[in-house]
Amino acid sequence: MVRLLPIASGKGGVGKSVLAANLGLALARAGRTVVLVDLDLGGSNLHTCLGVKNKHPGLGALVWKQERSISDLLVETGYDRLWLVPGDGLMPGTANLEWFAKKRILKELSSLPADFALLDLGAGSSYNVVDFFLAARDGILVVKPEVTSILNAYSFLKTAAFRLLQRSFPESSPGRAAVAAFAAAKTEGAGVSFLGFARELAERFPPEGEQALERLGSLRPLALMNQGRGGGDAELGYRLRDIALKNLGLSIEFAGYLLEDEAVPRSVAARRPLVDLEPSSPFARGVAAVARRIAAAAPGGPAGLLEEGSDIAALVDEAWARAAEEEARSQAGLGLAEER
Ligand SMILES: Nc1ncnc2c1ncn2[C@@H]1O[C@H](COP(=O)(O)OP(=O)(O)O)[C@@H](O)[C@H]1O
Ligand SMILES: [Mg+2]
């Protein structure tokens, strides 16, 4: 069965599309069949990262012309085992998808004959984004090592947690009204905690409330820090993990840490994933490590699915070690050139 891997972020420009393209290629090179799905409904550009021309029908065709199935939309990327479902071809109005349209897309995605479907999502916390993020218990949340990015990521998770509770109850049910009332009244750190409220829902409105609490407890968002610069980055990662656990009862794991790397914009300009263009670059090797961890984790597995990789401080150290190796390699290269 295909494993859906949504890739989200609190704000744009953090590297979701670059990550989707590179992670997809790394997984494909590791022998997995991968479909990249451009679900950035307002600003799709995943095709650019892969050098695919913008001329194919995209997900809009699926929503508005019901006769098509998602396999009609698969576009070759020029890489073995890596396919793209473009986001272009989306017609006006698609940016605000009704729940039925999302359900249809999700159903089609689950039928993809692939090992992984990476969902490149739009920025922000609209329900369009959040609903696709919730398609998996372990979606990837990309953050930058900046306080604003951490706060955005936290507020994204908060919206996701609320949406999960809300969606657990039928429309205009008392349970749903209780969620809305709590969301409206909630001020940070005051009164009942989010988790306390979720437990209360379970008691007051079984069985939906119990299911909601269970689903909340099984969420295991994977944070991925991109464009790292060093000093204090791990600290920021721990802060995100701590507030998400304390305020929302969510256990975050770290899927990876990638350094800021000037080779990345170069690869974007060249319209080739860096994993292909410069596989030995620290960024490409970092992405390959993320791919290994994700491929090794059991999809429905127990908590701690990324045990070996989830300590952000260790991930930061590894990334710097890779950068130092690359530096040493290029200096050795220069030295040899001089000797000749
Ligand atoms: N690790 C990195 N180092 C340097 N630049 C990066 C890195 N990751 C992303 N970028 C740059 O950030 C820009 C935005 O990336 P993109 O994937 O389009 O973000 P998003 O999809 O989240 O909006 C790209 O032009 C890319 O060159
Ligand atoms: Mg993008």
| Cα–Cα distance measured from residue 109 to residue 106, given in angstroms and rounded to the nearest whole number | 5
Mutate to test the pocket of ligand 1, among 36, 268, 277 (most ligand atoms within 8 A of CB): 268
**Banded model confidence at residue 322, pLDDT cuts 50, 70, 90:** very high
The secondary structure of 224-277 as a DSSP string is EEEEE-STTHHHHHHHHHHHIIIII----EEEEEEE--THHHHHHHHTS-HHHH
Is the overall model pTM greater than 0.75, yes or no? Answer: yes
* 14 ligand 1 Cβ < 6 A: yes
Mutate to test the pocket of ligand 1, among 46, 225, 264, 272 (most ligand atoms within 8 A of CB): 264
> For ligand 1, atom 23, which residue shows the shortest CA distance?
13
Which ligand lies nearest to the CA atom of residue 319 in the structure?
1
| Cα–Cα distance measured from residue 275 to residue 121, given in angstroms and rounded to the nearest whole number | 21
Weakest mean pLDDT among 148-157, 177-186, 254-263, 294-303: 294-303
| Cα–Cα distance measured from residue 22 to residue 44, given in angstroms and rounded to the nearest whole number | 16
* 16 ligand 1 Cβ < 6 A: yes
In the chain, the domains with their CATH numbers are 3-339 (3.40.50.300)
> With 70 as the cut, is the pLDDT of residue 304 above it?
no
User: For residue 253, what are the β-bridge partners?
Assistant: 222
Which ligand lies nearest to the CA atom of residue 268 in the structure?
1
Which ligand lies nearest to the CA atom of residue 46 in the structure?
2
CA 123 to chain centroid, in Å, comes to 11
Sheet holding 82-85, edge to edge: 75-76, 82-85, 34-39, 116-121, 3-8, 140-143, 222-228, 253-259
| Cα–Cα distance measured from residue 46 to residue 77, given in angstroms and rounded to the nearest whole number | 11
Task: Identify residue 45 by its one-letter amino acid code.
Answer: N
Is the distance from CB of 257 to CB of 286 less than 8 angstroms?
yes
In tens, the pLDDT along 69-101 reads: 899 999 999 999 999 999 865 555 556 788 888
Nearest to 50 by CA among 276, 319, 320: 276
Which ligand 1 atom is the nearest neighbour of the CA of 261?
3
* 87 ligand 1 Cβ < 6 A: no
Which ligand 1 atom is the nearest neighbour of the CA of 14?
22
Distance 194 CA to ligand 1 centre (A): 33
Nearest to 47 by CA among 83, 81, 96, 13: 83
Which ligand 1 atom is the nearest neighbour of the CA of 226?
1
> For ligand 1, atom 2, which residue shows the shortest CA distance?
260
Q: What pLDDT score was predicted for residue 67?
A: 60
Percent of the chain with pLDDT over 70: 89
| Bridge pairing between strands 3-8 and 222-228 | unpaired
| Angle at which helices 174-185 and 147-167 cross, to 10° | 160
Q: What pLDDT score was predicted for residue 303?
A: 43
Give the count of beta carbons closer than 10 Å to the beta carbon of residue 211. Answer: 15
Nearest to 179 by CA among 202, 157, 156: 202
161, two tokens: 């947690």
* 13 ligand 1 Cβ < 6 A: yes
> With 70 as the cut, is the pLDDT of residue 51 above it?
yes
Residue partners of 180: CB distance under 8 A and separation at least 6:
166
State the average pLDDT over residues 51-61.
Answer: 86
> For ligand 1, atom 27, which residue shows the shortest CA distance?
265
* 283 ligand 1 Cβ < 6 A: yes
In tens, the pLDDT along 114-128 reads: 999 999 998 888 888
Mutate to test the pocket of ligand 1, among 14, 18, 277 (most ligand atoms within 8 A of CB): 18
